[in-house]
Amino acid sequence: MTTVRTKSEQGMMMSTTTIRAHLVELKKELEGRLARIAAEREERNAPDNDQWSDQASLHGRDDEQFAVQLAASNELIQVNDALSRLDTGHYGFCTVCGEPIEAERLEVLPYAVRCKVHAV
């Protein structure tokens, strides 16, 4: 186990190992969620399945599921980005001012790309 710390020691006291573990966990969770949605949709689309014969509820559920799926895939993209930034050593710096992102912010949002000041 390496405990390489990011460039800035003052703001970033969390080791990248901890952050990576956190991101990998998030990634697994998101991939699991997406897989479940895909599996459920496949099951529902099976011709011999009349569980979803009510068209109205089918549509409502589709919209809802689509929103969940979209949110999960967007989050997954950000998690993967953060992981590749960790690999290249660019992790944890604000894309606006280049300053290190606050450790407590990264703890809550490990794939954050902006500091508190520049958070949208």
C-beta of 39 vs 96, nearer to Zn ion: 96
Beta-bridge partners for 100: 93
Nearer to Zn ion, 30 or 110 (CB): 110
DSSP 6-40: PS-TTT--S-HHHHHHHHHHHHHHHHHHHHHHHHH
Residue 42's Cβ-count burial label (10 Å; 0-12, 13-18, 19+) is: exposed
CB of 13 to Zn ion, least distance (A): 19
Residue 119 beta carbon to Zn ion: minimum distance, rounded to whole angstroms: 8
Q: Least distance to Zn ion from the beta carbon of 104, Å?
A: 15
Q: Give the footprint of Zn ion on this chain (CB under 5 A).
A: 94, 96-97, 115, 117-118
